[in-house]
Amino acid sequence: MRAVIQRVSRASVDVGAERVGEIGKGMLVLLCVLKGDTDATAAKMAEKLAALRIFEDDAGKMNLALEQAGGEALVVSQFTLAADLKKGNRPGFDAAAPPDDAKRICEVVVAELGKRVARPVRTGRFGEMMDVALVNAGPATFVLEIS
């Protein structure tokens, strides 16, 4: 499982003219489920996301986790993070999990993360063309792989 985590001042995701997810201060998680990922992988990802100390404390150091910082989470599925760009110019997506598996495992990540933070976890809409907007705070962007 692969994630790009962005610390944000605000973020939103729209499907067409409908706003389907929106947060203020917190983390935007672009999440990719890979072949072989399981519910256990999803639980480990959620645990790590909740524990990441990427928010600044009173001294200006990255020392606070999402809940300690009073932040929110927006999780958006993004299979393109599975892209293999080594050969040619067209990305290959063989490493991505099949859509039905990926959707279910994304839902597990969201549910498990929701158990670990005080606020509801917002989401995009799996399999849809989404417009994601964000204000990256820092900027602070992290790549996380869990197997």
Which residues are designated catalytic?
A: 78-80
108, two tokens: 């597990």
Give dist(CA 118, CA 11) in Å, integer.
Answer: 18
Strands 55-56, 72-77: pairing is unpaired
Give dist(CA 122, CA 76) in Å, integer.
Answer: 9
With 0-12 CB in 10 A as exposed, 13-18 as middle and 19+ as buried, what is 131? Answer: exposed
